[in-house]
């Protein structure tokens, strides 16, 4: 799939896997059909680089976080920018929709230093919750000491989990903004996902029962990788077995896996 004029920085699958988004240094977002390789839409016109992005659950909207602290909402039917939310002080590190698509979480926590001016942009290390319909700020979650690397909503939308570079994972009450639980972990939680029943959280280093009173010791080892993955040794693996080695010219700058599809 070709279309961008500069390096592709990240890619993201839609919830159904029928669409794939790609972000490039040319300040555009490509929306692709991963089955055919066809370009379905291109989101352009923003003067800011999109540092993160996510599809809405119904796949009608695409949210991007920019390198200058803005959150942008794109209409995938028309390909136009429909809303822009402002409030963060630095680069948006991630965006994530709630399960019903009514709320959008965004996190900022990357501190930038301008070599020309000598001015640094202070990271705010917060997660902000926006009302998608009105564009208003619904709530700000504060407490992490460093940037937030992952966010997930519970299936019923009542809870939100966040993982940070401060080596903590936190559980929040979405309605009140109250901190419900904090886990101290040994590494950065880069992947967060609630199980369908909502009582357990899957992370990149194991899963935890959120109703248990235990601390980090309650984390259970992750399940065996039965899908497709790319290791640091540049081998594509299927169910943990090496199937294809990637030469230098074919190694990706970023990748995502959706079921049995690798982009």
Between 13 and 119, where is the model more confident?
13
Within a domain: residue 83?
yes
Cα Rg, the chain, nearest whole Å: 19
| pLDDT cut 90: percent of the chain above it | 37
Given pLDDT bands bounded at 50, 70 and 90, which one contains residue 222?
A: low
Task: Specify whether 222 is located in the same domain as 238.
Answer: no
127 pLDDT more than 80: yes
> Range of 152's domain?
8-226
Given pLDDT bands bounded at 50, 70 and 90, which one contains residue 251?
A: low
pLDDT score for 60: 96
CB atoms within 10 A of CB 22: 23
Closest to 163 (Cα-Cα) out of 201, 213, 120, 124: 201
pLDDT score for 239: 61
Sheet arrangement for strand 179-184: 148-153, 159-164, 168-173, 179-184
54 pLDDT more than 80: yes
Task: Specify whether 44 is located in the same domain as 163.
Answer: yes
Task: Specify whether 74 is located in the same domain as 149.
Answer: yes
Per-residue pLDDT averaged across 27-44, rounded?
Answer: 88
Within a domain: residue 1?
no
pLDDT score for 253: 61
pLDDT score for 116: 57
Within a domain: residue 3?
no
Within a domain: residue 122?
yes
Task: Specify whether 46 is located in the same domain as 125.
Answer: yes
170 pLDDT more than 50: yes
110 φ, ψ to 5°?
-110, 120
Task: Specify whether 47 is located in the same domain as 152.
Answer: yes
Residue 208 corresponds to which tokens in the numbers above? 């935890």
Given pLDDT bands bounded at 50, 70 and 90, which one contains residue 195?
A: confident
Task: Specify whether 78 is located in the same domain as 140.
Answer: yes
Per-residue pLDDT averaged across 97-119, rounded?
Answer: 74
Task: Specify whether 127 is located in the same domain as 236.
Answer: no
Residue 140 corresponds to which tokens in the numbers above? 């700000």
Number of structural domains (the chain) is 2
Report the C-alpha gap between 167 and 203 in whole angstroms.
13
Given pLDDT bands bounded at 50, 70 and 90, which one contains residue 142?
A: very high
Between 141 and 196, where is the model more confident?
141
Whose tokens are 């370009």? That residue is 39
Task: Specify whether 207 is located in the same domain as 258.
Answer: no
CATH number for the domain spanning 112: value is 2.130.10.10
Closest to 103 (Cα-Cα) out of 76, 125, 68, 128: 128
Query: What's the whole-model pTM score?
Result: 0.81
Report the C-alpha gap between 195 and 206 in whole angstroms.
12
**175 to each of 13, 103, 148, 183, how far by Cα in Å?**
28, 11, 20, 21
pLDDT score for 224: 47
Partners of residue 192 on adjacent β-strands: 203
Given pLDDT bands bounded at 50, 70 and 90, which one contains residue 139?
A: very high
Tens digits of per-residue pLDDT, 206-217?
788 887 765 554
Between 49 and 250, where is the model more confident?
49
Task: Specify whether 147 is located in the same domain as 263.
Answer: no
Is 235 within 8 Å of 195 (Cβ atoms)? no
Task: Specify whether 132 is located in the same domain as 197.
Answer: yes
Between 263 and 208, where is the model more confident?
208
Tens digits of per-residue pLDDT, 224-234?
454 666 666 67
Is 147 within 8 Å of 190 (Cβ atoms)? no
**163 to each of 94, 125, 180, 188, how far by Cα in Å?**
11, 11, 14, 7
Tens digits of per-residue pLDDT, 151-160?
999 999 999 9
């Amino acid at each position: 799939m070709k279309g961008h004029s500069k390096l592709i920085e990240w890619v993201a699958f839609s919830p159904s896997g029928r669409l794939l988004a790609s972000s490039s240094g040319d300040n555009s977002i490509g929306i692709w059909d991963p089955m055919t390789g066809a370009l379905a839409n291109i989101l352009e016109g923003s003067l800011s680089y999109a540092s993160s992005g996510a599809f809405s659950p119904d796949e009608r909207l695409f949210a991007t976080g920019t390198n200058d602290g803005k959150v942008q909402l794109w209409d995938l039917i028309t390909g136009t920018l429909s809303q822009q939310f402002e409030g963060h002080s630095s680069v948006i590190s991630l965006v994530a929709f709630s399960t019903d698509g009514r709320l959008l979480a965004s996190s900022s926590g990357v501190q930038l230093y301008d070599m020309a001016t000598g001015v640094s942009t202070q990271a705010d290390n917060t997660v902000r919750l926006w009302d998608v319909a009105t564009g208003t700020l619904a709530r700000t979650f504060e407490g992490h000491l460093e940037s937030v690397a992952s966010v997930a909503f519970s299936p019923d939308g009542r809870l939100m989990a966040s993982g940070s570079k401060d080596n903590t994972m936190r559980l929040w009450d979405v309605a009140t903004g109250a901190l419900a639980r904090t886990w101290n972990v040994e590494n950065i939680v880069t992947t967060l996902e609630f199980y369908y029943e909502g009582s357990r959280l899957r992370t990149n280093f194991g899963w935890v029962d959120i109703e248990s009173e235990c601390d980090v010791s309650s984390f259970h080892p992750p399940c065996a990788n039965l899908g497709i993955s790319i290791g640091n040794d540049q081998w594509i693996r299927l169910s943990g077995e090496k199937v294809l080695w990637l030469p230098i010219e074919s190694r990706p700058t970023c990748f995502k896996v959706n079921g049995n599809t690798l982009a």
